[in-house]
Amino acid sequence: MDHRVNQWTWTRWPRHDSLREALLPNLLVPIDLHDGVPTGPSLFALSEGRRAAHAVGVTVFAIVMTERHLDEKVAAHLGRAGADKVLSCEGPGLGAPPLDVTHGAALYAAVERIPPLLVLFPAGGAGPQLGPGLASRLGGAFAASADLEIGEAATPLADGVARIFVRRWRGDRTSYRRLDPVELERPVVAILPSGGPPADRGTEEVEVEVITCVPPAKVGISELASEADDLAAAALASILVVVDPALGDAAVAKISAAAPAGVAVVDAVAAAPAIATCVPRVVIGVGARGAMVWGTPRSRVGAVLPGAPAPKQQRPPADVLLRVPAGGSLDAIVDDLIASLPALVARAPSEPRS
């Protein structure tokens, strides 16, 4: 146990039942369940938490909000992905898709129980709904698309003890901000990217603690209709191809039909709501409106732009740029891109380099 790391305490936190948990830095991962199954980004977030835990010494908690008793298989799955413990917030209405007004209080109950150093929401899930409200309640920092960096602090805490930073990328990709929760003395709430298949870093033997939640007295919200989200796959994607509709419906359809498993292809305009919540690892924008996607400092963004740049045209915020030469065939470029996508799926890094 490193006592300097354990200086992470907050005097205004309420009393905790577990002295050990009150003193240790904790990393919380709210889990998104689709049809009762944890989403890929949720497992990746746990996996990332476990990676950080090895270096920094944090305890990784998975938070599940559910209407009824948590399935043991789900708990085992979360443990295998990297959770040390599972907090199961159980109460009426918590099985519904999360909103701050219906789920915010339950999440806050878990956070009061286990004071966090970091709260890591998975991509494509409840992060945009619950993350800002939680950060606001905690007085903490918020990063809508971020990744973790393990490194030494400017002022080392102790020999051999690493620090965990959250890096938040600007939309124009000109810079990022490095948030250090220890230095801030406040928790950081962040949404992690969809990093591909998680590495099973933990064990199925995981302790489950139940927090019984009372529903809010007056919600003021009622569900009128519900259907399967046709853009859910795009929001969860770790490899995303965003196509400018100006290129025609046929271009989107052609790339979608040929895309290998693991690649989501969307229309840049029609899928704007899903694009707003996704945090993919690799993005390829096709067309002028294709590359307007957020990411993390570790995300890789490619852009395929038709035509030569206009004199005043700004360089798009991409790491790799392919300009279709004047008079060149975009169809041929799209065909070549389709042929290259399997290589991207096979070789795209799913494990972040620290």
Q: 122-161 burial string, b = 16+ CB within 10 Å, else e?
A: bbbbbbbbbbebbbebbebbbbbbbbbbeeeeeeebeeee
Distance of CA 299 to the CA centre of its chain: 12
| 151 touches another protein (CB under 8 A) | no
Q: Which is nearer to another protein, 115 or 202 (CB)?
A: 115
By CB neighbour count within 10 A (0-12 exposed, 13-18 middle, 19+ buried), where does 230 fall? Answer: exposed
**CA 119 to CA 143: how far, in whole Å?**
10
Interface residues for another protein in 36-95 (CB under 8 A)?
Answer: none
Q: Which is nearer to another protein, 160 or 220 (CB)?
A: 220
Q: Which is nearer to another protein, 33 or 213 (CB)?
A: 33
**CA 203 to CA 184: how far, in whole Å?**
32
Q: Which is nearer to another protein, 97 or 307 (CB)?
A: 97
Tell me which of 152, 207, 229, 331 binds another protein, using CB under 8 A: 229
* H or E element that contains 63: strand 59-66
Looking at residue 308, its amino acid is A
Q: Which is nearer to another protein, 19 or 346 (CB)?
A: 346
Tell which residue, 189, 43, 57, has the closest CA to residue 120: 189
Tell which residue, 274, 273, 266, has the closest CA to residue 249: 266
Interface residues for another protein in 326-345 (CB under 8 A)?
Answer: 333, 336-337, 339-341, 343-344
Q: How far is the CB of 19 from another protein (least distance, A)?
A: 29
Tell me which of 55, 211, 272, 288 binds another protein, using CB under 8 A: 272
Tell me which of 231, 252, 265, 330 binds another protein, using CB under 8 A: 231
Q: How far is the CB of 43 from another protein (least distance, A)?
A: 16
Interface residues for another protein in 275-314 (CB under 8 A)?
Answer: 276-277, 282, 284, 294, 300, 302, 304, 312
Q: Calculate the alpha carbon distances from 69 to 46, 95, 126, 205, 345 in Å.
A: 21, 11, 20, 18, 37
Interface residues for another protein in 172-211 (CB under 8 A)?
Answer: 172-180, 184, 186
Contact segment (CB under 8 A) with another protein among 49-57, 74-82, 155-163, 269-277 equals 269-277
339 DSSP assignment = H
Interface residues for another protein in 96-115 (CB under 8 A)?
Answer: 96-101
The Cβ of residue 288 has, within 10 Å, a number of other Cβ atoms equal to: 17
Q: How far is the CB of 204 from another protein (least distance, A)?
A: 25
Tell me which of 230, 246, 248, 329 binds another protein, using CB under 8 A: 230
Q: To 10 degrees, what angle do helices 330-347 and 249-258 make? A: 30
Task: Count interface residues toward another protein (CB under 8 A).
Answer: 90
Tell me which of 270, 288, 307, 351 binds another protein, using CB under 8 A: 270
Interface residues for another protein in 5-34 (CB under 8 A)?
Answer: 32-34
Q: Which is nearer to another protein, 59 or 142 (CB)?
A: 142
Residue 229 DSSP SS3: coil
The Cβ of residue 261 has, within 10 Å, a number of other Cβ atoms equal to: 6
Q: Are strands 118-121 and 141-143 parallel, antiparallel or unpaired?
A: unpaired
Tell me which of 12, 17, 19, 35 binds another protein, using CB under 8 A: 35
| 315 touches another protein (CB under 8 A) | yes
Tell which residue, 13, 39, 315, 222, has the closest CA to residue 64: 39
Tell me which of 151, 269, 331, 354 binds another protein, using CB under 8 A: 269
